[in-house]
Amino acid sequence: MKRVLLKLSGEALAGEKHTGFDEATCVQVAKQVKEVCDSGVQVGVVIGGGNFWRGRTSENIDRTKSDQIGMLATVMNCIYVSEIFRSVGMKTKVFTPFTMGPMAEMFTKDAAVECLEKGVVTFFAGGTGHPYFSTDTTTTLRAIEIEADVILLAKAVDGIYDSDPKLNPDAKKYDEISIQTVIDQKLGVMDLTASIMCMENKMPMMVFGLNEENSIVNTLKGKFSGTKVTV
């Protein structure tokens, strides 16, 4: 594996608190990503925003404006996690699809690939820059653009199940599943727009639990215990 796109859910960063940041969780992720980078794998990162805000959070304000707040939440997350990554010895860069003045750099494919090739962990903050999209869509879009080998989807659950494991104790976990089946059975691993983009552009995915010990490193070392999504 030469280049991967790691998607971290905003909620997973919040740990038990479910909001804001849980520093211990972020440091744990940082140490794993450092190990992955040190082994020569190039890492891009997309982070959700659910630990602060979702477009659907308020019914009283305009959806476009609400989504803009969500996109800004992802910028805060990326700046924070990027700094935690630096604190354990990695080089990082935060890109956004809109101008953020001195806070981040404008995303272009060329600039991002240049960073990745230099071993800089490259954050894609601010979503796609458009309302009505999600950080799942951002993940597939950027993974395709930077020509990643695979998407690493680190979630609160440890893989893809045939039904919601929180609601159904008999839910069965898949070791491997095709993206077509994910779409046909409407399995809620990513939103539909993102899943269809993965299918059309043949972008495979590894889905695993962020809170499982050493799961990011294990996934890349072949000790994978989540669900592989084939295309």
Interface residues toward ligand UDP, by CB under 6 A: 10, 48-50, 54-55, 67, 70-71, 73-74, 127-128, 130-131, 133-138
Residue 118 CB, nearest distance to ligand UDP (Å)? 26
Strand, helix or coil for residue 34: helix
CA 178 to chain centre: 20
Q: Which two tokens stand for residue 142?
A: 């950027």
User: Does the annotation place 50 within a ligand binding site?
Assistant: yes
DSSP H or E run through 132? none
Residue 152 CB, nearest distance to ligand UDP (Å)? 16
Give the residues across from 45 on adjacent strands: 6, 123
Spatial separation of the C-alpha atoms in residues 213 and 225, rounded to whole Å: 11
User: Does the annotation place 129 within a ligand binding site?
Assistant: yes
Q: Which amino acid is at 100?
A: M
User: Does the annotation place 195 within a ligand binding site?
Assistant: no
Spatial separation of the C-alpha atoms in residues 212 and 156, rounded to whole Å: 9
Residue 66 CB, nearest distance to ligand UDP (Å)? 6
Who's near 144: CB < 8 A, 6+ residues apart? Answer: 197, 201, 203
- CB-CB contact of 147 with 204 (8 Å): no
User: Does the annotation place 135 within a ligand binding site?
Assistant: yes
Give 98 or 224: the residue with its C-beta nearer to ligand UDP.
98
User: Does the annotation place 226 within a ligand binding site?
Assistant: no
Residue 138 CB, nearest distance to ligand UDP (Å)? 5
Give 55 or 226: the residue with its C-beta nearer to ligand UDP.
55
Give 122 or 137: the residue with its C-beta nearer to ligand UDP.
137
Binding-site residues sit at 7-10, 49-50, 54, 67, 128-135, 161, 164
Binding-site residues for ATP sit at 7-10, 50, 54, 161, 164
